């Protein structure tokens, strides 16, 4: 059994905790990834104690230097928690006391593991949202480069996974970019909302010792301290919201992955993957499998599961702090580690894939994807659209009977369908005409795709600047 001197609690207990209690209570090893953020909070708290008069200038300097040394040794892999360290806070205090003696014990005054824990996870996430943002931007760069290569490439567009209308393939790729743009926008919005420090809330009611939390908040890169000490330690909506954002990112990654799986299939034959971003079969020598896309699609379920688990943990907790809240670190660390694997792999796969432009063009008119052009032409001639729809449907049936596409209709066939149809409509029944007709804002016309690319690149540069300009503790 551990003794009370090994822990941050236990002075009123006559016996130490049972081994089963120790095992259940001890933080998983992955939680110690947050050690640098705990040290950052400890240095800010050390300055609070100096301002409160509990530390002299010399003591403040000694503790700060010791904390920096712990940070360096931990980062270099020269310092590790031992089996008696219940959590990060126990670990850091133990090493501090080992290095400074009784002076190290002074740092605990005026704070609680409750506000430390809340602060650690918040600092960790404020750092990680920018790291995730950088990885998403690398994927965005890969998509944009492919979009530029294919801003003239015509391909089938789909609804209900049925060929619908021709589109520019670069335009289709940029639809994914728009979704990822919003994912990073959600990260920036999250960061603005949760740029408040819980440090100083102590256990739940605030600290009787530290009273200049505005200064410690700024020292850690926050905009301000939390408004309510109970909310500061008891709320985890910042965790739940982060998990929603990365779940949505996972869903968007999964949708792109599903399309990669389709595009690389023999049924589509649109895309070939680089050998470095595909795998084979242990039994079928001919196979080339889109494993990155499939693994990413699978891990989106993991991200969604983390969100579901966190919401379930939170739904019936009374104020203020409860040990249930310790689950937050499992969820956020797992989410971050999942994205650390997925995002670089997806970026590499997209940047190196090769698109078969001729195959896309060959398939673009199949399935009567130009039918809407005929209906639109009729509407422009004054035919009510419900009637134009029926006429076009009749033309499609005639094409099916003759085994041709719409652009194969002769003038005689057109008249057979309806007197409103003339040879002039054939000028609209080309891929280029269909593309350029969609010239409204956000449409698939080449000019609009180029404009979209320009606006998107400006927006991504703003996001890049946000990722770079962060004054809080960074562990990249």
Structural domain of residue 458, as residue ranges? 116-153+168-206+227-363+452-468
Does residue 192 share a domain with residue 127? yes
What is the pLDDT averaged over residues 134-162?
A: 98
pLDDT value of position 97: 97
Residue positions annotated with a catalytic role = 160, 281
Q: Which pLDDT band holds residue 7 (cuts at 50, 70, 90)?
A: low
Does residue 331 share a domain with residue 189? yes
The CATH code of the domain that includes 315 is 1.20.200.10
Does residue 384 share a domain with residue 306? no
3-state DSSP helix/strand/coil % of the chain, to nearest 5: 65, 5, 30
Q: Which pLDDT band holds residue 16 (cuts at 50, 70, 90)?
A: confident
Domain count, the chain: 3
Does residue 375 share a domain with residue 357? no
Arithmetic mean of pLDDT over the chain: 95
Evaluate whether residue 48 is within a structural domain.
yes
Q: Model confidence over 34-44: pLDDT tens digits?
A: 999 999 999 99
Q: Which pLDDT band holds residue 5 (cuts at 50, 70, 90)?
A: low
Model's pTM, two decimal places? 0.94
Residues in Cβ contact with 104 at an 8 Å cutoff, skipping those fewer than 6 apart: 63, 66, 93, 96, 97, 98
What is the pLDDT averaged over residues 317-337?
A: 95
Evaluate whether residue 447 is within a structural domain.
no
HSE, side-chain direction, 13 A CA sphere, residue 145: 14
- Compute the CA torsion angle 47, 51, 55, 58 (nearest 10 deg): 70
The CATH code of the domain that includes 27 is 1.10.275.10
Q: Model confidence over 358-375: pLDDT tens digits?
A: 999 999 999 999 999 999
Q: Which pLDDT band holds residue 393 (cuts at 50, 70, 90)?
A: very high
Evaluate whether residue 217 is within a structural domain.
no
Evaluate whether residue 222 is within a structural domain.
no
Evaluate whether residue 49 is within a structural domain.
yes
Does residue 187 share a domain with residue 136? yes
Q: Model confidence over 408-467: pLDDT tens digits?
A: 999 999 999 999 999 999 999 999 999 999 999 999 999 999 999 999 999 999 999 999
Query: Could you give phi then psi for residue 167, rounded to 5 degrees?
Result: -140, 165
- Of 372, 388, 391, give the one whose Cα is nearest residue 435: 372
Does residue 176 share a domain with residue 43? no
Query: Could you give phi then psi for residue 185, rounded to 5 degrees?
Result: -60, -40
Give the N- to C-terminal CA distance of the chain in Å, as an integer. 37
412 vs 92: CA distance, rounded Å: 87
354, β-bridge pairs: 272
430 vs 424: CA distance, rounded Å: 12
What is the pLDDT averaged over residues 78-98?
A: 96
Q: Model confidence over 285-325: pLDDT tens digits?
A: 899 999 999 999 999 999 999 999 999 999 999 999 999 99
Does residue 290 share a domain with residue 421? no
Q: Model confidence over 222-254: pLDDT tens digits?
A: 999 999 999 999 999 999 999 999 999 999 999
Evaluate whether residue 401 is within a structural domain.
yes
The CATH code of the domain that includes 380 is 1.10.40.30
Evaluate whether residue 50 is within a structural domain.
yes
Does residue 294 share a domain with residue 201? yes
Query: For the chain, how long is the longest CA-to-CA vector?
Result: 101
Q: Model confidence over 110-131: pLDDT tens digits?
A: 999 999 999 999 999 999 999 9
Residue 222: Cβ within 10 Å count: 25
Evaluate whether residue 445 is within a structural domain.
no
102 vs 59: CA distance, rounded Å: 11
Does residue 352 share a domain with residue 242? yes
Q: Which pLDDT band holds residue 353 (cuts at 50, 70, 90)?
A: very high
Does residue 178 share a domain with residue 253? yes
pLDDT of 2 higher than 60? no
| Backbone torsion region of residue 67, taken as left when φ is above 0, otherwise alpha when ψ lies between -120 and 50, otherwise beta | alpha
417 vs 395: CA distance, rounded Å: 6
Does residue 393 share a domain with residue 286? no
Does residue 138 share a domain with residue 122? yes
pLDDT of 10 higher than 80? no
pLDDT value of position 6: 64
């Amino acid at each position: 059994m551990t003794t009370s001197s090994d822990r941050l609690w236990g002075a009123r207990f006559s016996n130490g905790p049972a081994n089963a209690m120790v095992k259940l209570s001890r933080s998983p090893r992955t939680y110690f990834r947050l050690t640098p953020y705990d040290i950052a909070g400890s240095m800010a708290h050390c300055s609070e104690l100096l301002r409160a008069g509990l530390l002299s200038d010399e003591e403040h300097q000694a503790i700060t230097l010791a904390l920096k040394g712990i940070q360096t040794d931990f980062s270099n892999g020269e310092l590790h928690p031992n089996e008696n360290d219940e959590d990060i806070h126990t670990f850091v205090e133990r090493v501090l006391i080992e290095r400074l003696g009784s002076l190290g014990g002074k740092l605990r005054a005026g704070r609680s593991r409750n506000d430390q824990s809340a602060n650690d996870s918040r600092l960790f996430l404020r750092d990680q949202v920018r790291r995730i943002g950088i990885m998403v931007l690398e994927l965005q760069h890969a998509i944009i480069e492919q979009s530029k290569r294919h801003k003239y490439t015509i391909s089938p567009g789909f609804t209900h996974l049925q060929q619908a209308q021709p589109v520019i393939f670069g335009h289709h790729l940029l639809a994914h970019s728009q979704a990822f743009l919003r994912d990073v926008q959600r990260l920036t919005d999250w960061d603005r909302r949760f740029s408040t420090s819980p440090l100083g809330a102590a256990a739940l009611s605030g600290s009787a010792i530290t009273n200049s939390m505005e200064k410690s908040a700024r020292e850690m890169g926050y905009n301000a301290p939390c408004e309510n000490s109970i909310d500061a330690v008891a709320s985890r909506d910042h965790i739940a919201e982060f998990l929603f954002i990365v779940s949505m990112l996972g869903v968007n990654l999964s949708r792109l992955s599903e399309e990669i799986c389709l595009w690389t299939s023999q049924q589509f034959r649109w895309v070939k993957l680089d050998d470095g971003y595909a795998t084979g079969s242990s039994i079928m020598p001919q196979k080339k499998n889109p494993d990155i896309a499939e693994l990413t699609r699978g891990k989106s379920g993991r991200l969604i599961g983390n969100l579901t688990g966190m919401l379930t943990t939170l739904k019936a907790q009374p104020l203020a702090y409860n040990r249930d809240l310790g689950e937050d670190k499992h969820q956020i660390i797992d989410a971050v580690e999942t994205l650390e694997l997925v995002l670089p792999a997806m970026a590499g796969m997209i940047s190196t894939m090769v698109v078969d432009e001729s195959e896309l063009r060959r398939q673009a008119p199949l399935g009567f994807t130009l039918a809407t052009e005929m209906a639109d032409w009729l509407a422009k001639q004054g035919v009510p659209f419900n009637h134009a729809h029926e006429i076009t449907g009749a033309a499609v049936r005639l094409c099916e009977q003759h085994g041709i596409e719409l652009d194969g209709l002769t003038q005689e066939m057109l008249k057979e369908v309806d007197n409103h149809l003339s040879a002039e409509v054939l000028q609209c029944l080309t891929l280029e005409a269909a593309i350029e007709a969609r010239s409204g804002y956000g449409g698939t016309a080449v000019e609009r795709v180029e404009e979209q690319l320009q606006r998107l690149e400006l927006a991504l540069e703003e996001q890049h600047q946000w990722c770079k300009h962060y004054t809080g503790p960074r562990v990249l």
